Structure 1
């Protein structure tokens, strides 16, 4: 009788858990659709414009002037268009430009990581400003980090001559309609891929929230915080920023600041890390899906976040020591 009751209880718990899981899958459908439509409204027109500019030779004309700078970081001048698009709009917009260009896998890896370090500057700098960080300083640091990372990758990456995307032939001898047809086919594949990725990410985010997984990871992550030079009590904040993105992370920072759980300076320190290293789950999945190495994405972003925070801490310590010595003198 006792065993029957126990089994019945387990069955009820399992049914309840299954219902909670299925509810997250259902609830993700509408926002995933809305987000995908919003992204495609940005990405598809940009990718079509780039295809047309390529067809009429405008990209090649611009590239000859930009080659002088970008050749030092192992990139063709035309790739500057992808970087500038990503830096000013979103990584998805920059990716749309990349997918419209003829790049080797090596070139695509470099430009992808540049964009991941430096993207959506107007939006994300406005977000970090809300929690007290200097938006101009953050923007400058991200631009410098992007080019520093490109120099580093150009020095260490092996030759990868295989194409990033296999483009069917549609050169100057083809017609505009041929270009349009190829663009439409590529866009359909891209749209499906983006929807599946965004839907999967939203389901994961909802499951983590529904079952309270993220707060449970707070204590185990504290040693990682010390390694990155961040306050111990910022583990949950760091996790939110890395899983959900800098916008969610900043919203959480404001809440923690208001409650007194974290100081303004501690929140600022976390921001220095997050500007280099945020949305790791989404960004890694998206760029891995188009062939960019997950190892280089994770390694370079974590490396630059580590270097930035520790450099800032050491410079601050040196400055305070100099100030103390000058006062004693």
Structure 2
């Protein structure tokens, strides 16, 4: 019988190997995509495509200038979206609607590729998130009566006005810091997961999560993966998912529902907290997104059950003909 020390060593070794593998995989995505995105923002090209989203702002009950923070946030991330929001005269209700949109649909290029590399078509993942953002904001907007924002230059540039070399230095420092953060978190998660597997603790934790997973429409097999992405973020969750997918533990249906859920509802601690400083109610930062994720996964589950029956019905009709 394997001793406690042997189990601990086995778990740590397995976790370290998978953690390093997941970290390298993440860097291959993070570095080129973040570099491309920062160059895009620096070039000012983001501001030139502003007019493309302007008509959609009426649908979202937002003023035309809200398109700029949304574009920046969708192409960069929460920080970029907030940086643009605070530079323009929006009301609290307007910022609330933008916050809900960006909490679901931010950093779409990078996170879309991350989801694509970890088991879901990146285009489908991005379309799901954008659709969820639009529908959620439209519904929440019915509870508000946003006042029109003061007139301002909607096409104002938020790209970095510093010389290119300084911008690249800033990007390098920020990327290095983020890489260290990712390394520590992924390695810790993988080591913890390895130890839990070695001591057969996974099933106990998943069993405790069962009631919550059922509410979210997810299978118990994705419990740890869902919890990782929900708490730490999509990037960290995807790195763990990749290692699980390699072991063949998940079906395509389970993986699709998992990605749909965490695409809408990830980083439940850090991301919403960033908007609290803008005076936005915690209720709107957490509850609508959770409800959207629950409904979306249950609808997907319903579609997955209907689809085989539909195919069978079509085959019967063809055979009759």
One of 71, 90, 100 as aligned partner of 2:77: 90
Secondary structure at the residue paired with 2:133? helix
C-alpha distance in 1 between matches for 2:115 and 2:252: 12
Q: Is the 8 A contact 1:142 1:276 kept in 2?
A: yes
Q: Is the 8 A contact 1:131 1:268 kept in 2?
A: no
One of 232, 240, 259 as aligned partner of 1:252: 240
Which residue in 2 is equivalent to 1:176? none
Over 3 Å counting, the alpha-carbon distance change for 1:111 and 1:220 in structure 2 is same
Q: Is the 8 A contact 1:257 1:264 kept in 2?
A: no
Which residue in 2 is equivalent to 1:218? 206
- The structure with the larger Rg is 1
Give the number of the structure with larger relative contact order, counting CA–CA contacts within 8 Å between residues 6 or more apart. Answer: 2
Shift of 1:264: 4.2
State whether structure 2 residue 251 is matched by structure 1 residue 290: no
Which residue in 1 is equivalent to 2:5? none
Secondary structure at the residue paired with 2:142? helix
State whether structure 2 residue 231 is matched by structure 1 residue 239: no
In the TM superposition, 1:72-87 aligns within 5 A as 72-87=59-74
Is there any run of 5+ residues in structure 1 with no aligned partner, and where?
A: 1-38, 50-57, 173-179, 181-197
One of 113, 119, 139 as aligned partner of 1:126: 113
Q: Is the 8 A contact 1:118 1:143 kept in 2?
A: yes
Q: Is the 8 A contact 2:73 2:81 kept in 1?
A: yes
Shift of 1:257: 2.0
In the TM superposition, 1:133-282 aligns within 5 A as 133-157=120-144, 159=145, 217-282=205-270
Which residue in 1 is equivalent to 2:292? 304
In the TM superposition, 1:30-49 aligns within 5 A as none
Is there any run of 5+ residues in structure 2 with no aligned partner, and where?
A: 1-33, 154-160, 162-177
Secondary structure at the residue paired with 2:279? coil
Secondary structure at the residue paired with 1:132? coil
Secondary structure at the residue paired with 1:252? helix
Shift of 1:217: 4.7
Q: Deviations over 1:192-221 (max 9, x none)?
A: xxxxxx9xx99x979x96988996753321
Q: Is the 8 A contact 2:206 2:220 kept in 1?
A: no
Aligned residues: 250
State whether structure 2 residue 88 is matched by structure 1 residue 112: no
Shift of 1:89: 1.1
Q: Deviations over 1:7-57 (max 9, x none)?
A: xxxxxxxxxxxxxxxxxxxxxxxxxxxxxxxx9xx99x979x8xxxxxxxx
Secondary structure at the residue paired with 1:221? helix
C-alpha distance in 1 between matches for 2:249 and 2:126: 27
Q: Deviations over 1:270-303 (max 9, x none)?
A: 0011110001111121112332222112111111
C-alpha distance in 1 between matches for 2:129 and 2:146: 26
Q: Is the 8 A contact 2:103 2:272 kept in 1?
A: no
Q: Is the 8 A contact 1:72 1:151 kept in 2?
A: yes
Shift of 1:259: 2.7
C-alpha distance in 1 between matches for 2:242 and 2:232: 16
